[in-house]
């Protein structure tokens, strides 16, 4: 009797691209797909295939997981700002002797009509915001503190999960929501709050791009936090 060989694939995820990949790969015959999430989102969407949540315990932990689960292929489809897990994946797959594919979103490129100030950090963006500005902060809760010192600025803060702690802004509104699905929705948000500037990270991908297109249409300048260098 011929025994079918199951291919076990580990997707390092947390992005919509990783979810799309899982949906595609589970369709393949004799394939077991495990998506791994860091656990940063409170109620992550259900993914096709299996899901595991939480850190592995560094390079050694990931290498051990790969061996224990008899993983044949690791796909790094993590968020482009999650550089530590990507570096760990390179080392761990080398130790475990399995193939690694990198499938990450390309950064957004400036288009005609975009007014972008590229910055390396939230601190740099915070220092450059003009006095009296009305700023749309499209950043996660762990990236807000550099902006607290700008008492002279109004902030519209949008994040997927409402923060556990009170935000220490002088003048702000909180929008616990995902990025607007359509450009029209983002135009509405920007207009309703009379936004003069947008701050976001160059995450790439189609889901977060609607705000960029809306800012372009309205001539709203963007402080674009560019991607960090990979962890060596």
Query: Which CB sits closer to ligand NAP, 61 or 130?
Result: 61
67-86: contacts with ligand NAP (CB under 6 A): 78-79, 81-85
CA dist 74 and 203 (Å) reads 22
Least distance CB 191 / ligand NAP (angstroms): 27
The residue whose two tokens read 């791994």 is: 36
Question: SS3 breakdown of the chain: % helix, strand, coil, rounded to 5?
Answer: 30, 25, 45
Query: Which CB sits closer to ligand NAP, 55 or 130?
Result: 55
CB 14 within 8 A of CB 37: yes
160-179: contacts with ligand NAP (CB under 6 A): none
Among 8, 36, 93, 189, binds ligand NAP (CB under 6 A): 36
Cross-strand bridge partners of residue 135? 155, 197
The residue whose two tokens read 């799309």 is: 20
Name the phi and psi angles at 172, rounded to 5. -155, 160
- Dig out the tokens for 12 from the structure: 């390092």
User: Per CB under 6 A, does 88 bind ligand NAP?
Assistant: yes
Among 9, 56, 89, 122, binds ligand NAP (CB under 6 A): 56
CA dist 143 and 132 (Å) reads 21
Contact window for ligand NAP (CB under 6 A) among 19-27, 30-38, 95-103, 214-222: 30-38
Among 40, 110, 117, 134, binds ligand NAP (CB under 6 A): 40
**Binding site residues, ligand NAP, CB under 6 A:** 12-14, 36-38, 40, 55-58, 61-62, 78-79, 81-85, 88, 140
């Amino acid at each position: 009797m011929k025994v079918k060989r199951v291919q076990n694939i580990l997707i390092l995820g947390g992005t919509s691209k990783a979810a799309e990949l899982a949906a595609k790969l589970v369709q393949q015959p004799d394939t077991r797909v495990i998506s791994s999430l860091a656990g940063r989102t409170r109620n992550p969407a259900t993914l096709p295939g299996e899901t595991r949540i939480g850190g592995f315990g560094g390079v050694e932990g990931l290498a051990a997981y790969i061996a224990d689960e008899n993983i044949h292929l690791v796909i790094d489809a993590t968020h482009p700002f999650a550089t530590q897990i990507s570096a760990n994946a390179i080392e761990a797959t080398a130790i475990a002797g399995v193939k690694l594919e990198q499938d990450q979103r390309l950064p957004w490129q400036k288009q005609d009509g975009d007014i972008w100030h590229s910055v390396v950090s939230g601190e740099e963006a915070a220092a450059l915001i003009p006095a009296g500005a009305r700023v749309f902060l499209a950043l996660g809760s762990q990236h807000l503190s550099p902006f607290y010192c700008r008492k002279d600025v109004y902030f519209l803060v949008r994040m997927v999960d409402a923060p556990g702690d009170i935000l220490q802004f002088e003048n702000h509104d909180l929008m616990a929501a995902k990025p607007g699905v359509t450009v029209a929705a983002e135009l509405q948000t920007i207009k309703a709050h009379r936004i003069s500037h947008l701050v976001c990270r160059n995450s790439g991908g189609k889901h977060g791009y609607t705000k960029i297109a809306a800012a372009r249409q309205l001539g709203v300048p963007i402080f674009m936090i560019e991607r960090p260098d990979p962890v060596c």
